[in-house]
Amino acid sequence: MDPPRLGGRPQPAGLPGRKKGAPARACTCGQQRQSKGQAPRDALTAAGLLTLRRRYLVCPGCGGGCHPRDAWLGLEGFLSPQARRLVCLAAASWSFDRASALLDEFCGLAVSDTTIRACAVAAGASVRSWQRTSPAPAAVFAAAAGDIEFSTDGTSVNTRGGWREMRLAIFAKRPRGAPAAPAQWDERTLPAPSVRVLFGGLWTAEQFGPQWRAWAGRLGIRETAQVTVLGDGAKWIWKQAAQNLPGAGGVLDIYHVGAHLHGAARILYGEGAAEGTAWVDARRLILLQGGATALEVALAAQEQSLRSPRKRQALADLRAYLAPHAGHTGYAGRLGRGQSIGSGMVEGACKTVVGRRLKQTGARWRVRHAEQMVALCGLLYSDLWEEYWSPEQN
């Protein structure tokens, strides 16, 4: 028969029959702890509130006391391991007060929003430490199939010191899909990522970039030439990529390019003009087929034919936006190989991980707590939730 469990953790066999001098009685100071009788405590488990009676041991030498059974059962404070997991899942999904109400509704667990907050930020700190030291993230990443993608972006979070940018990054692997022609770029369905690992913090670009290199090492990525960076035109992304992921390929997000094309079309043809839509489609196809170099030729020729200074400036600005990315617009090759050409994954994470959870009405975060919550929410978003909560890993 399996040993009894509390919160999903096995209880060592033979515990009730522990003899004098057993390891739990040995104090770190070298003396033997002595029993001072039993003491009750309440513990909230996934099955509800339990009252436990366990023996209390005290060392006569140093005076240190302990309840050995608490450690065997994985009890840290009021919550059992499985209850902590449920509380953290709720905290990563809803506001703390909403999580309290829904835990009561779904599971019959009466947990205050204050307890949920304390549990969540403590778990977030633990997650960050676990991610730095555990071999599990690298093992999960190595076992997944597909090409390595890296994407990064930022979004604002309201802290007690004002609004600050929370930068997120994702290392992912994605299997290749069916080959597609440039004209089919928005008709295809790409395979979902086989693994994704998200991390972030309230860092400047110069602080965040070295984290990419560190995470690549943690995930076992030894050759950054295996990585493709997918990003918008923000200068900080490409500067940090060159410094911290040297040799990595780059892809300028096609949707951001499309937004710039539409911006130019509004100036050239007016808001909502059919002629402007046709112009965007034609110029985007040139870009997809021949990259930024081919589009530069077409835009330069059109700019020379225009007399309006405002319209000429619109095309000049578009050309300036594309100029640094001549090497990041090899769309035709990636489409032919069934690979992605957009950075929508990290933009979605900014909305779901940060926007939905940390940017709720009235929320103002301590910097430390905001980063710990991003670690916890990022764990849920990533493919590491089960690994972190397994008894073997945590």
pLDDT by position in tens, the chain (length 394):
344 444 444 444 444 444 544 556 788 888 888 888 787 777 777 888 777 777 778 898 888 887 776 666 666 677 888 899 999 999 999 999 999 999 999 999 999 999 999 999 999 999 999 999 999 999 999 999 999 999 999 999 999 999 999 999 999 999 999 999 999 999 999 999 999 999 999 999 999 999 999 999 999 999 999 999 999 999 999 999 999 999 999 999 999 999 999 999 999 999 999 999 999 999 999 999 999 999 999 999 999 999 999 999 999 999 999 999 999 999 999 999 999 999 999 999 999 999 999 998 889 999 999 999 999 999 999 989 999 998 776 5
Burial per residue of 225-263, b for 16 or more beta-carbon CB atoms within 10 angstroms, e otherwise: eebbbbbbbeebbbebbeebbeebbbbbbbebbbebbee
Report yes or no: 205 and 187 within 8 Å, Cβ to Cβ: no
222 CB burial (10 A radius; 0-12, 13-18, 19+) = exposed
Provide the whole-model pTM. Answer: 0.85
Q: Which amino acid is at 205?
A: A
| Owner of token pair 């405002």 | 310
Nearest alpha-carbon partner for 137 in 214, 81, 250, 202:
214
Distance CA 241, CA 213 (A): 9
The conformation of residue 144, written as its DSSP 8-state character, comes to S
Q: How many CA atoms lie within 13 Å of 221's alpha carbon, on the beta-carbon side?
A: 27
Tokens 């009894």 sit on residue: 4
- How far is C-alpha 201 from the chain's CA centre? 10
- Residues 213 and 241 sit within 8 Å (Cβ to Cβ): no
**Number of residues in the chain:** 394
Best CA proximity match to 347, nearest among 185, 232, 234, 227: 232
Tokens of 201: 């913090």
The Cα–Cα gap between 346 and 351 comes to 9
Structure tokens at 47: 């099955």
Tell me the two tokens of residue 73: 């059962």
Q: In what order do the strands lie in the sheet with 65-66?
A: 34-45, 48-58, 65-66
**For residues 131 and 199, is the Cβ–Cβ distance under 8 A?**
yes
- State the CATH architecture for 137-255+329-389: 2-Layer Sandwich (3.30)
Distance from the Cα of residue 207 to its chain's centroid: 17
Q: In the chain, what are the domain boundaries?
A: 5-78, 83-133, 137-255+329-389, 260-319
Residue 3 CA to residue 41 CA, distance in Å, equals: 22
End-to-end CA distance of the chain: 24
What is the torsional sign of CA 89, 95, 96, 98? negative
